[in-house]
Structure 1
Amino acid sequence: MPVKLQSGGGDDHEEDARIEIVPLIDIMFFLLASFMMVSLSMSQIHRVNLKLPASTSSVADNKTPPIHIAIDAHGVITWDTKIVTPSEITERLRALPPTEDTKVLIGADQDSRHQAVLSVIDAAKAAGVEKVSFETKHQEP
């Protein structure tokens, strides 16, 4: 039922009040876009802070995102910021759906021990993962 407005003057001209929806829709889309941009800028990648060794022969691989396992300078092994042991790595890799594209990316600190790196490689191989690679910084020749 339309709202009828009476003018304060002497004429009996009646007008129907209208609410324009188009500007309201424009404002809602603007707010939606603003909130989406703010929420995207607030997301952060949580990773272990490592000093990666440099390599001139490194190649970027941007196909399937690998499983990232980090080893810090003290030999602490983390998977997605959760501290794990080599046996837990094997169990978690076996629990994943088996695919040929399963990749493990090892990010080892340049001061980490060789034994810690080998234990992660052995854990991945024990789970049946054949694609294991190392994360490095690209160094210009």
Structure 2
Amino acid sequence: MAMSGGKDDGEPMMDLNMTPLIDVLLVLLIMFIITIPIQTHAVKVDLPQPNPDDNRNQVDPVKNKIVIDAAGTVSWNGAPVNDVTLSQYLDQSVALDPEPELHFQPEPTARYERVDQILAIVKRANVTKLGFIGNEQYREF
């Protein structure tokens, strides 16, 4: 009861054997998949590098001074800063041990709203050594 390829037992088989062809194709497919380079989906971005000379001497370990002029410009130890930079300087000064003094000196013509904004930033930084400088200019004689 053996199976035969032809109609009669002695005839040759006329169908093509597909198994070796499929095996060869699968091996080639696997080889192509392995040899394809890995695609990296990285986006190259040139970020600005921080300059260590800029922040090194900005926070004094003894005392720091915030001045607000009439136009609302905030200065940290004489250099104008924005609110984000001021917050970073305050965080650096709070991290020092011992914490340096912070002298706060708004000009008499500075808007109260701007002074209040800066005081809120100082409070969020958890500064414990805060002193108001120049209050004698408001003293009545």
TM-score interval, smaller chain: 0.3 to 0.5
Which structure carries more strand by proportion? 1
Which structure carries more helix by proportion? 2
Q: Please report the TM-score for the alignment, with normalisation by the length of structure 1.
A: 0.47
> Which entry has the higher C-alpha Rg, 1 or 2?
2
Q: Please report the TM-score for the alignment, with normalisation by the length of structure 2.
A: 0.47
